[in-house]
Amino acid sequence: MEIRESEKKREKRGRIWKLFLAFVLLATQIFAGNIRVDAAERPSLDITGLSMSVGQTQRLKVSNAKEVKWSSSKRSVATVSSQGVVRARKAGRTTITARYY
């Protein structure tokens, strides 16, 4: 009975060591640069500054985003549709915001 218990403990210890060594090996390879881990590209807006005339429209696009919600800080100056189309309504300044998910 005593032999079986010590064998089980040895087997368990051996499995723990194998997992530990595998983790150390993987971490070493990542930090050494042998395994490349790329982060997803950040979403980016195609236009960051825009000057428009009254009545003019311009479509804005966000790359690397699944879903975008658009808003205008001053709807009296410019509106923006759910597709990112900005329409200048009157002279002034506004901020168009793209919230991405």
Do 21 and 52 belong together in one domain?
Answer: no
Domain boundaries, position 80:
44-100
Task: Give 56-78 pLDDT, tens digit per residue.
Answer: 999 999 998 889 999 999 999 99
Tally the domains of the chain: 2
DSSP-assigned letter for residue 35: S
pLDDT of residue 91: 95
Q: Are residues 29 and 53 in the same domain?
A: no
Same domain? For 1 and 28 the reply is yes
Rounded-to-integer distance, Cα 94 and Cα 44, Å: 19
Cβ atoms of residues 97 and 59 within 8 Å: no
Can you read off the two tokens belonging to residue 84?
A: 């990112």
Whether residue 81 has pLDDT greater than 90: yes
- Give the C-alpha separation, 61 to 21, whole Å: 47
pTM above 0.95, yes or no: no
Question: What integer pLDDT is reported at residue 39 of this predicted model?
Answer: 67
What digits encode the pLDDT tens for the residues 8-36? 888 888 888 888 888 888 888 777 776 66
- Beta strands (DSSP E) in 15-88 are 44-45, 57-59, 62-63, 68-72, 78-80, 85-88
